[in-house]
Structure 1
Amino acid sequence: MKKIGFAALMLIAQLSFAQANRFVYQVTMKPNAEDKNEVKTENAYLDISAEKSMFYSENRIKRDSVIRAGFQSGGARGFNREQMQNFRSSINYSIEKSKKDQKTIYKDRIGRDIYSYEEDRPVEWKILSETMKIGDYKVQKAETDFAGRKWTAWFTTDLPYQDGPYKFSGLPGLIVKVEDAKGDYSFDLMRNYKISDFPEMNQFGNVVKVKRKDYIKQQQKFISDPMSFMNQSSGGISAPMRMGGNRSQNPAEMRKRIEERIKEEVKNNSNPIEL
């Protein structure tokens, strides 16, 4: 009986250790440089375990669930396109931070493929003496200049994590709020809870590992010539289907519609988080 009891305690300890903590942030954005009155708000998750953390859109998980269900019920034709539209996100990237080697890996889709790079710029903080209360947490102020913006963060040592939303980390506590000086982007902690494990994410297309400077070049190329990235299929879904196309359409009309949509998306994201 003692052996069984000890084994049960070990199993409980292992399960507890395997758990991750999910912090839900409300992300407020003004991504359109031509219309700063247009404000977009959505939730994003920061999942933290002993080994790593991941930051990504809540809608990403919901959209992935719809895609999986579509494949199970008949491939690309089984997609519920209305649901897919409801789960569109302005946060198309995901960010993974490794605790062991202190690396930050950024992933984002350009055309048909996922581009991945290791962040090569450290976030250097200036910790200030100012404190206040945000919700249940006593927080302290810190500032940094990162990727063309001046950021103010409020972190708490009430939670044992030196992490935060987006690429931000390295403070002696969890970031509860961080906002840029222009008020274009802000991340606000709303709640947190335990999860059993990190979710499985769909990654249609190839994962292309590049340097950050090469990722920026590919981004600029996509803006100037988006169709050059969309002409081939990858990951089992053709570009027109991923962009909401219809196989019965005339190819020229489909191409024109995709080009118009991409140009509209580029315009709507003309004020990126990194300048």
Structure 2
Amino acid sequence: MKKLGIIAFMLFMQTAFAQVNRFVYQVTMKPDASNKSDVKTENAYLDISQDKSVFYSENRIKRDSIMQATFRSGGARGFNREQMEGLRSNINYSIEKDKKTQKMTFKDRIGRDVYTYEEDRPVTWKIFSETTKIGDYKVQKAEADFGGRKWTAWFTTDLPYQDGPYKFEGLPGLIVKVEDDKGEYSFDLMKNYKIADFPAMNQFGNTIKVKRADYIKQQKKFQEDPMSFMTQGGGGGQIRIGGDGGPRGGGFGGGNSGDFRKRMEERVKDEAKKNSNPIELK
């Protein structure tokens, strides 16, 4: 009986140790440079385990769940576009931080493929003695310049994590709030709870590994000529890591007719205008 008790305790400890802690942030954005009164708000998850953390949109998981259910029940013909439109997100990227290698990987879809790069710019913080309280947490102030913006963060040592939303890390605690000095982007911790494991994310198309500068070039090229990314090899010259046989063209259908091309180009230009004030300005 004693042996069984020890085994049960060890299994319990392994399960508890393997759990992932999910921190839910409210992300407030002003992504349209020509209309700063257009404020977008949505939730994002920072899932943290002992080995890594992943930051991504809550709506992405909801969309993935709907897509999986749709394909299981008969494919794209049963696709509810209206429901998917309601789950559109300004956070189309995901960011994974490897705790062991200290590497940070950024992933974002451009057209039909996922482009990924390793972030090579560590955030350099200046920590101040100023403290306050946000919610249940005692927090301390820090500032940093990153991506062309000046950021103020408030971090807590009440939780055993040295991490934060988006690309922010490197403070001696968990970031509870971080905001740029123009008030155009902010991340506010709302709640946290445990989940069994990291959710599986759909990743249709190829994964193309590039340098950060090349990703920015491809992004600009997509805004100028989106249809070049809807055909095989549109990006050209990058390292393709593989594909999964999912739907092509980033979810767009209807062939390459002139009308489809025009609609696609108009949509991408409209999206580019609505996202003309990105979180990183340089």
Q: For this structure pair, what is the TM-score category when the shorter chain's length is used for normalisation?
A: over 0.9
- Letter in structure 2 aligned against 1:174: L
Q: Deviating runs (4+, > 2 A) in structure 1?
A: 231-236
Question: What residue number does 1:228 align with?
Answer: 228
* Aligned pairs for 1:145-164 within 5 A: 145-164=145-164
Q: Distance in 1 between matches of 2:149 and 2:277?
A: 12
Give the drift of 1:246.
4.5
CA deviation profile, 1:87-136 (whole Å, cap 9, x unmatched): 11000000000100111100000110000000010100000111111011
Instruction: Say whether 1:93 aligns with 2:69.
Output: no
Could you tell me which residue of structure 1 aligns to residue 214 of structure 2?
A: 214
Deviation (angstroms), 1:78: 2.3
How many matched pairs? 271
* 2:266 alignment partner in structure 1: 260
Are 1:104 and 2:104 an aligned pair?
yes
Query: Which of 238, 244, 262 lines up with 2:248 in the alignment?
Result: 238
- Which residue is 2:198 aligned to? 198
How far residue 261 of structure 1 moved from its aligned partner, in angstroms, is 0.8
Q: Indicate the larger mover: 252-261 or 87-96.
A: 252-261
CA contact (8 A) 1:164 1:176 kept: yes
**Partner Cα separation in structure 2 for residue 226 and residue 257 of structure 1:** 11
Distance 1:25 1:94 in 2: 14
| TM-score, reference length from structure 1 | 0.95
Q: Write the distance in 1 (CA, Å) between the matches of 2:246 and 2:187.
A: 35
Structure-2 residue corresponding to 1:73: 73
Amino acid at match of 1:271: N
Q: Which runs of 5+ in 2 are unaligned?
A: 234-242
What is the aligned-residue RMSD (CA, Å)? 1.4
Contact 1:132-1:139 within 8 A present in 2 as well = yes
- With structure 2 as the length reference, what TM-score do the two structures score? 0.93
How far does residue 162 in structure 1 lie from its aligned partner after superposition? 0.3
* Preserved contact between residue 46 and residue 53 of structure 1 (Cα < 8 Å): yes
Gaps of 5+ in 1: none
CA distance in 1, matches of 2:267, 2:189: 33
Are 1:114 and 2:114 counterparts?
A: yes
Q: Distance in 2 between matches of 1:41 and 1:232?
A: 35
**Distance in 2 (alpha carbons) for counterparts of 1:236 and 1:118:** 25
Instruction: For 2:178 and 2:215, locate their aligned partners in 1 and report how far apart those are by CA, in whole Å.
Output: 25
> What is the distance in 2 between the residues matched to 1:91 and 1:216?
16
> What is the distance in 2 between the residues matched to 1:229 and 1:166?
26
Per mean C-alpha deviation after superposition, the further-off stretch among 141-150 and 212-221 is: 212-221
- Letter in structure 2 aligned against 1:238: R
| Bigger shift: residues 133-142 or 79-88 | 79-88
Alignment of 1:144-183 (within 5 A): 144-183=144-183
Matched, 1:128 2:134: no
Match of 2:236 in 1: none
**1:76–1:237 contact (8 Å) kept in structure 2:** no
In structure 2, C-alpha distance between the alignment counterparts of 1:246 and 1:208, rounded to whole Å: 25
Query: Which residue identity is paired with 2:31?
Result: P
Matched residue of 1:220: which SS? helix
Could you tell me how far 1:76 is from its partner in structure 2?
Answer: 1.9
Secondary structure of the structure 2 residue equivalent to 1:155 = strand
Choose the corresponding residue for 2:275, options 260, 269, 274. 269
Aligned 8 A contact 1:150 1:180 in 2: yes
**Corresponding position of 1:41:** 41
Q: CA deviation at 1:228?
A: 0.5
Q: What is the deviation of 1:232?
A: 4.1
Distance 1:84 1:24 in 2: 21
Q: Percent of aligned pairs with the same residue?
A: 74
